[in-house]
Structure 1
Amino acid sequence: MTDTPGWASPGSSEPPRDDVRPPAGSAGDTPGGPGPYGGAYGSIPGQGQGPDGGASAPDGGPQDARGPVAPQGPSQGGWGPGSPQGGWQGPPQAGWGVPLSPKPGIIPLRPLGVGEILDGAVTTVRRHWRTALGLSLGLAAFQQVLEALGQWLAYERPGTVTEIVALLGPLPVELLLGVIAVGMLTMVVSRAVLGQPVTVSEAWKAALPRLVPLTGLTLLTLLIIAAPFVPGSVLLIVAVADGLNEGLLGLGAILLLAAAPFAIWLAIDLSLAAPAVVLERQGVLASMARSRRLVKGSWWRLLGINVLTRVLIGVASTIVMAPVTAVAGFLSIGGDDVGGDNPFLVGLPPLGLLVLAIGGTVVATFTIPLSAAVNVLLYIDQRIRREALDIELARAAGLPDYGSADLADRPTPPGA
């Protein structure tokens, strides 16, 4: 699979403006123009100069700065001078003279509402279930096997050391699996937006060169988000070592509570860095700066959509896992140690661990691609709003005439 065209960030020397969507008629919106998107897909076949020195449409018709100009005449009808009787003129349009947005793939190519982002994520899984679910199933099953093996070790050899190993041992592998899932699913969603299928092998080949910087980004992001909690955690450790010093315990708790909002702010501010690493082929630090520019001015909106997504996924996961956990607990009755004095509550007999692993695999198979798809669609939505990425996506999807209308005047859907 070749690199998906049109994802490169604007190539101008100054950062993209965060408060203005470029009009469709700017030079950068023409294929081969000098602007930030120029030449991404080459020139449109047949496009050239008209007899008067102006641009001509691919079919030889007139064209202005925004694209082909539809001829005025009785055949179109309309409320205007081109209509012999002042009748309705022009093709079907949405709103007051605004062209309908094309939808080559899972989303319409315009600023998205909250419902459209969630629907796009679900549609990605539904239309590309072989790739999305097959990929997440393999990764989720491997992750659950690692966790089950660790917990089985804690069950067979109870003790604080083995319990800590059971909890922390699988984390590095799970982190790597998460990076692989994000990288490959980002490629799946980016192709789904264009209405193009992608296989697991194609997604792997496209994501493989970006896994190293994506891993570095993931580790650095975790460290940055965890940094605000360090002072409070240190005070709690010192308080425990000092015989539960109440003053230090209270101060540590206050610092941890104060760090939570700051950590959330950092998490949202850097939430769009992963798609930038994969799709724009940015470096780690450049992708973090890119995310901050895209999030600027939309922080609360992104926070709300992320919270809503996690609440919906959490509720669905709880509905599925509640009976699974009950069955695992019932099968574990009569074991040597079903929790007991175990402070980490990881000691379950093998049959209970198997049931939990199966349930966890089923839940993760659906939640992993949905979460990844929502994040990628948020990234695409922000670029559509600020950089007119929809024009490039439409051309990459085979709609070269898209953008002939002034996209800056398009209405934003309710809830967007």
Structure 2
Amino acid sequence: MNESPGWASPGSAPSDGQEPGVPRPAEPTDHSDASSKWSKEQPPAGQWSAPSGSGTPSGPPRQPTPNWGGSPQGGHWGGPPPAAKPGVIPLRPLSVGEILDGAVSTLRAHWRTVLGITVTVAVITQICDILIQRYLLPAPAEVDPNATPSEALSQSFDVVRSTLVNSAPTFAITLVATLFTTALLTMVISRSILGRPVTLADAWREAKPQLARLLGLTLLLPAIAFAIMTVGVLPGMLLGGPAGIALSLFCGLAAFVVVLWLMIRFSLASPALMLERQSIKKSLSRSAKLVGGAWWRIFGITLLTLLLTFIVSMIIAVPFGLIAYAADDGLSSLFAGETPEFGWPFLIITGIGAVIAASITYPISAGVSVLLYVDQRIRREALDLELARAADIPGYGPQQSTDTTPGS
């Protein structure tokens, strides 16, 4: 794809309002029109005879056996030729399994670069999180089991407020970590699609110009979600009483549905911003157009990815958590029904488990997001043709220009 991470310009794409018909690859340029070279005088049908000789077999003529999966020398009897695959995915519309396999294949093919990014970011993130938990965060609010209903309600608000305060630094750290991993891994995956090598320096050089915009986008989406949820829950909280609680639950559920719809609709904004070098507003618009008509499919794949990464995280976190409990002597207090007080051994061991889990789950999440974006552009804008040209695959013709970044 030259040195530009973006691909074909979407100016006349169906996602911009045109019909969904997508042109497929043309015949190779050196293919000649063989039908024009036949003689005008042809023998009648069925007059071909086998060569004479004693070795000519008797009986009915043999029928040619189709090659259902391969490509015989005389042509493709079993259907169209397989799609080109210069990198981790075939250049055609992708299935769910191919999207997940492409994300894992990127981790395998560029493991030095990918792990260099994820391990570095995860280690820094966990060190900051451990120090904040150990020295800065206040003690969690206590709940009195013998409190009156009014006191229990007040204590519940204290617990919620304490939880929000304690989770805010972790959320901010996670946001910054997600920013860097998304930016760098997007560039790694964009190269791996074309089967090209990429180093950490290459990824950083291509991602650096868009980091400020990506930060704005990363902050904007949670802010939109928080604002919508606040508007949904606040009236019931102000009303108070059983009616206020019911109103908060109903409006909060409606607000959550709206937030979920918007987050899926804007889920491709990050790869659009990085690969097309778009502004925040245009990347949101591009995501909305690419997701249009495929919301449920993208929602299902995103949900499946979240489930898989959660399972992987739990498989790693549970053993490390048990080891951390034992190393910090928390098991005895846990069995005694007391609240354990965790020290440095617990924080360090659980932090190591979190680093290992993040090193595996970050590339998968980022890979699925980028490959969903590529898949939608292949389906809507025939991006596979431009990718094939960028990968120098014979039969697709030369690239049209030296810079094919959309929006440039």
TM-score for both structures, normalised by structure 1: 0.74
User: Does the CA-based 8 Å contact 2:129-2:170 persist in structure 1?
Assistant: yes
Q: Give the superposition deviation at 1:233.
A: 3.5
CA distance in 2, matches of 1:167, 1:90: 64
Per-residue deviation, residues 355-412 of structure 1 (Å, max 9, x unmatched) = 11000000001100110000000000000011110011011111141389xxxxxxxx
Trace 1:255-334 onto structure 2 (pairs within 5 A). Answer: 255-333=251-329
Query: Residue 183 of structure 1 corresponds to which residue in structure 2?
Result: 183
Matched, 1:117 2:99: yes
Aligned residue identity for 1:175:
L
Mark the CA change 1:70 to 1:117 in structure 2 (over 3 Å): closer, same or farther.
farther
Matched, 1:351 2:333: no
CA distance in 2, matches of 1:315, 1:385: 30
User: Does the CA-based 8 Å contact 1:150-1:167 persist in structure 2?
Assistant: no
Q: Give the superposition deviation at 1:187.
A: 0.4
CA distance in 2, matches of 1:24, 1:232: 47
Trace 1:102-113 onto structure 2 (pairs within 5 A). Answer: 102-113=84-95
Q: Give the superposition deviation at 1:259.
A: 1.8
CA distance in 2, matches of 1:195, 1:262: 39
CA distance in 2, matches of 1:201, 1:190: 15
CA distance in 1, matches of 2:307, 2:133: 27
User: Does the CA-based 8 Å contact 2:317-2:354 persist in structure 1?
Assistant: yes
User: Does the CA-based 8 Å contact 2:305-2:365 persist in structure 1?
Assistant: yes
Mark the CA change 1:179 to 1:2 in structure 2 (over 3 Å): closer, same or farther.
farther
User: Does the CA-based 8 Å contact 1:18-1:293 persist in structure 2?
Assistant: no
Matched, 1:68 2:30: yes
Aligned residue identity for 2:231:
P
CA distance in 1, matches of 2:77, 2:136: 62
User: Does the CA-based 8 Å contact 1:163-1:346 persist in structure 2?
Assistant: no
Q: Give the superposition deviation at 1:70.
A: 4.7
Of residues 90, 95, 111, the one that matches 1:129 is 111
Q: Give the superposition deviation at 1:108.
A: 0.3
Of residues 393, 396, 401, the one that matches 2:390 is 396
CA distance in 2, matches of 1:313, 1:67: 45
Trace 1:49-68 onto structure 2 (pairs within 5 A). Answer: 67-68=29-30
Query: Residue 158 of structure 1 corresponds to which residue in structure 2?
Result: 139
Identical positions, percent: 39
User: Does the CA-based 8 Å contact 2:13-2:381 persist in structure 1?
Assistant: no
Matched, 1:386 2:380: yes
Q: Give the superposition deviation at 1:248.
A: 1.3
User: Does the CA-based 8 Å contact 2:22-2:382 persist in structure 1?
Assistant: yes
CA distance in 2, matches of 1:13, 1:323: 49
Q: Give the superposition deviation at 1:284.
A: 0.4
Q: Give the superposition deviation at 1:197.
A: 1.0
Aligned residue identity for 1:131:
T
User: Does the CA-based 8 Å contact 1:151-1:346 persist in structure 2?
Assistant: no
Query: Residue 365 of structure 2 corresponds to which residue in structure 1?
Result: 371
CA distance in 1, matches of 2:355, 2:75: 47
CA distance in 1, matches of 2:301, 2:13: 32
Q: Give the superposition deviation at 1:7.
A: 1.6
Q: Give the superposition deviation at 1:249.
A: 1.8
Per-residue deviation, residues 282-318 of structure 1 (Å, max 9, x unmatched) = 1101110100110011111101111111111111111
User: Does the CA-based 8 Å contact 1:332-1:351 persist in structure 2?
Assistant: yes
Moved more, 146-155 or 187-196: 146-155
Helix, strand or coil at the partner of 1:197: coil
Query: Residue 141 of structure 1 corresponds to which residue in structure 2?
Result: 123
Mark the CA change 1:341 to 1:251 in structure 2 (over 3 Å): closer, same or farther.
farther
CA distance in 2, matches of 1:196, 1:224: 37
Aligned residue identity for 1:369:
P
More helix by share: 2
Q: Give the superposition deviation at 1:322.
A: 1.0
Query: Residue 217 of structure 1 corresponds to which residue in structure 2?
Result: 217
User: Does the CA-based 8 Å contact 1:67-1:403 persist in structure 2?
Assistant: yes
User: Does the CA-based 8 Å contact 1:384-1:390 persist in structure 2?
Assistant: yes
Per-residue deviation, residues 205-251 of structure 1 (Å, max 9, x unmatched) = 10000011111111111222333211344246546xx6xx2221221
CA distance in 1, matches of 2:89, 2:178: 25
Mark the CA change 1:376 to 1:346 in structure 2 (over 3 Å): closer, same or farther.
farther
Q: Give the superposition deviation at 1:121.
A: 0.5
Mark the CA change 1:170 to 1:402 in structure 2 (over 3 Å): closer, same or farther.
same
User: Does the CA-based 8 Å contact 1:21-1:388 persist in structure 2?
Assistant: no
Aligned Cα RMSD in Å? 3.4
Structure 2: runs of 5 or more not aligned: 36-44, 50-62, 67-71, 142-160, 399-408
User: Does the CA-based 8 Å contact 1:125-1:369 persist in structure 2?
Assistant: yes
